[in-house]
Chains A and B, each alone.
Chain A
Amino acid sequence: MINTKENIRSLLRQVCDPEIPVLTIMDLGIVREIICTNDDAVEIIITPTYSGCPAMDAIAFDIKMKLMEAGFKQVKITYTLTPAWTTDWMSEEGKNKLKKYGIAPPQNISSRLNKLLFEEEKNIECPQCHSTNTKLLSQFGSTACKALYQCMDCKEPFDYFKCH
């Protein structure tokens, strides 16, 4: 086994988010750093999407399992909070996967979010029929990172991975 960061990255691309299994942790942008401390020892620094994200412990466990299966003897997982995670770190590939999965991907740059009251992110594309005639049902959806929208053309409700 060639112990390179690229090799580790490709292993991490096989670790999926337990709540949105179509996304890998690399797609989400939560892997912040890979430190090879030894030939068979590695430290992975990850950051949570939201403070209360209940998937973090499962993700840390899955990373350990994946790397140990590949021959690493010591895998250390370190959490970092800074800089705070943003949807801007999500890969284009991840966004495409989300869309195919039926979740509208984040469409804006988080710093340009409109914080005006009763204003919502507009023109979110329905992942079913691709109409942009959609409306917000709730800022908070089935998980902390999603909002609930409804398509006004095909009438289907759908999750939107909101900008953060």
Chain B
Amino acid sequence: MKTNQPINQSTGSPITLLTNQLINQTLHLADTALILGQRNGEWCAHGPILEQDIAITNITLDLIGQARNFYQYAATLINASENKNETEDSLAYLRNEREFKNLLICELPNGDWAQTVLRQFLFSAYQELVLEKLKNSSNEQLAAIAAKSLKETQYHVKWSSEWVIRLGDGTTESRDRMIKAIDTLWMYTGEFFIPANYELTEVHLLKETWFQKVRSIFEEATLAVPENTFMQSGGKSGIHSEHLGFILAEMQILQRTYPGAEW
């Protein structure tokens, strides 16, 4: 019988859909954490004040650490099912743009500090809900990574919530910048809740809780929640904005030019 099911090259047995789903789910989590980490890392030595420079780069370190854990697990799954020799590094440095499954919001340029902290808030509030679900996953390794990451993400949510309030309810200048940041970023929050065919978490069920959280912080920040706006999507399935290619070029050029280079 002829099917479209992929075949394990070494054993000749079909790769189960379940394994594929799990690999893609893990890569989506890894890519999302890596790309946002890479973006936030651009603030290193450029933060508005020293303490906040250190804060955003600490968050970056957490995200890159989470990405490493997810990539290592994805590599184990891929190598077991497809007889390949993937590593966390090959998955991060040698895959092409269309193979990346990160959320679009993560790849957008940092903009100003308002846009950076707003993105962190919108994302971390979402990531916290996803990790809480994954923590109870029947997949032990995903559950372990999620439980570990969750403790870090809770710090990110608190830190970024405080910044949204501080700027939104701050000076005319900071408030204007926060409103502009909402205009720029809001359309990228829609895809959070559109389930990809590989997602194990029922992300559409998280929308209301996320929305309530965002609304409560926006209210305290005296900011309005946008209504009925057009929403972008595509990141989860590899359809990206023009920005991802530039990040990957910068991130991957060394490994692609000097394969296996170490320092």
Contact = CB atoms under 8 A, between A and B. Distances in A.
B158 A117 contact: yes
Interface string B135-155: 000001101110111011011
A152 to B, nearest CB: 17
Nearest to B161: A117
Given A81-B144, A117-B165, A144 B51 contact: no
Given A139-B155, A139-B159, A51 B66 contact: yes
Interface string A81-123: 1111100000000000000000000000000000101100000
Interface size class of B (residues with CB under 8 A): 20 to 34
A164 B162 CA distance: 19
B63 interface: yes
Contacts of A137: 51
Interface size class of A (residues with CB under 8 A): 20 to 34
Interface in A40-67: 48, 50-54
Contacts of B140: 82
Q: SS class of chain A's interface: helix, strand, loop or mixed? A: loop
Contacts of A142: 54
B66 A141 contact: no
A7 interface: no
Nearest to B65: A52
Given A50-B62, A141-B54, A82 B154 contact: no
A118 to B, nearest CB: 6
B240 interface: no
A132 interface: no
Contact of A144 (B61, B144, B147, B220): B61
Task: List 9 A-B pairs, minimum CB-CB distance, nearest first.
Answer: A52-B65, A51-B65, A138-B51, A82-B144, A140-B58, A52-B61, A140-B55, A81-B144, A84-B148
Interface of B: 51-52, 54-55, 58-59, 61-66, 68-69, 140-141, 143-145, 147-149, 151-152, 154-155, 158-159, 161-162, 165, 220
